[in-house]
Amino acid sequence: MLEGRWLNNNQRMFLVNVYAPCDLARKRVLWDDLKQLRASNPPGAWCFLGDFNSIRSQEERISSSNRIADPSGISDFNQWISEMELQEIKCVGSSFTCIRPNGSVKSRLDRFLVSDQWMSNWPDSCQHVLPRDFSDHCPTILQTKMLDWGPKPFRVADWWIHQKGYQRVVREAWSSAQQGGWGGVVLKNKLKYLKEVIRQWSKDYGFINDKGIHKIQKKLNEVEDLASNRSLSEDEIKAKRDLQQELWEASNAYESLLRQKSRAKWLKEGDRNSAYFHKVINFRRHYNGLQGILIHGVWIQNPMKLRMKL
């Protein structure tokens, strides 16, 4: 295990290199040892990497003899990953990392498993399986690099519709963007202008994030501290009611935003489980991210080179 700190944000990091045994009994001993290792260390961003000598499903192994992998080993490995609260990051390249010299068996044994803290810091992490040479295992590397593939699509947040003034802003922006010309171009320009107006209107609601909500809570606590020492004036009572209403609206809007990003519609509306929503958001963002595009057998990761080819 390698332990250190990421200097940019003073984040504690743990990198654990794993080489698991082949038999199931000793694997179970290793899984328990790794649980104790993590439990005995302080919280941080964890990454377990290496040859786990285990597969997560029958699809991760192909054998010429059509031999089925031991379901107990698959179940134990997946259960250990779940109990450790780890997730496997997206993989690019070959589906198998271990190939016998005669090609009779192909398996996915090598992988990177990371914690939620890791994904929060580096949501664009991706593992790349490279071609093998002398070894029967393919080299696998972990890359974390932000790629700019162009502008992101504009989406309407659900909480906007319930805010006072939103419909008025939309109507005024749509009516004021009057111009002549071909209908398709006019519609495109009106939508573009409306998008910028809504974005600016959304920025004015600066409390739709953790920091903004905490600021409202701090102001409300200050007023309540005054009320514990003396009677509040009518203006202070009104200010307290306004802060309570503002806090309620901001909290509901923030939860609505997280629900929409996570798309976890099956959760009961109103349940506050922000940590869960953040995990789902990071997981979806990670798997939806583009790490590169394969064009005529050439793997391109540089957006500028892609634009030149197109």
pLDDT tens per residue across span 236-265: 888 888 888 878 877 777 777 676 666 544
Task: Describe the strand order of the beta sheet including 125-129 as a list of residue ranges.
Answer: 91-93, 125-129, 140-144
Following CA atoms 96, 32, 24, 128 in sequence, which dihedral angle do they give, to the nearest 10 degrees? 10
- DSSP assignment of 127-182, as one string? EEEPPPSSSSB--EEEEE-----SPPPP---HHHHTSTTHHHHHHHHHHH----S-
Residue 74 has pLDDT above 90, yes or no: yes
Phi, psi (5° rounding) for residue 5?
Answer: -130, 140
Place of tokens 């990003």: 261
Is 47:118 a contact under the CB 8 Å cutoff? Answer: yes
| 109-163 pLDDT, tens digit each | 999 999 988 888 888 888 889 888 778 899 999 987 655 556 666 777 777 777 7
Angle at 68 between CA 64 and CA 74, to 5 degrees: 130
Residue 266 has pLDDT above 80, yes or no: no
Residue 210 has pLDDT above 50, yes or no: yes
User: Quick one: which of 10, 26, 20 has its CA closest to 113?
Assistant: 20
| 146-159 pLDDT, tens digit each | 555 566 667 777 77
For position 150, what pLDDT does the model report? 64
Phi, psi (5° rounding) for residue 296?
Answer: 55, 45
Residue 207 has pLDDT above 50, yes or no: yes
- In terms of pLDDT, which residue wins out, 286 or 211? 211
For position 268, what pLDDT does the model report? 46
Which option is the CATH number for 2-144: 3.40.640.10, 3.30.479.20, 3.60.10.10, 3.20.20.105?
A: 3.60.10.10
Residue 267 has pLDDT above 50, yes or no: no
| 12-45 pLDDT, tens digit each | 999 999 999 999 999 999 999 999 999 999 889 9
Q: Return the SS3 of 17.
A: strand
- Greatest pairwise CA separation for the chain in angstroms: 86
Query: What is the rounded distance in angstroms from the CA atom of residue 267 to the CA atom of residue 270?
Result: 9
User: Quick one: which of 40, 48, 42 has its CA closest to 15?
Assistant: 48
182-190: long-range contacts (C-beta < 8 A, 24 or more apart)?
none
Centre a 10 Å sphere on the Cβ of residue 68 and count the other Cβ atoms it contains.
Answer: 9
pTM score of the predicted model: 0.54
User: Quick one: which of 125, 144, 114 has its CA closest to 45?
Assistant: 114
| 269-284 pLDDT, tens digit each | 444 555 655 666 666 6
Instruction: Return mean pLDDT, the chain.
Output: 81
301 Cβ contact partners less than 8 Å away, ≥ 6 residues apart: 145, 147, 291, 292
H-helix or E-strand spanning residue 6: strand 2-6
Residue 97 to residues 18, 52, 53, 56, 304: CA-CA distances in angstroms?
15, 11, 11, 13, 30
Q: Where are the domains of the chain?
A: 2-144, 164-204
89-123 CB burial, b ≥16 within 10 A, e <16: bbbebbebbbbeeeeebbbbbbbbbbbbbbbebbb
Is 277:256 a contact under the CB 8 Å cutoff? Answer: no
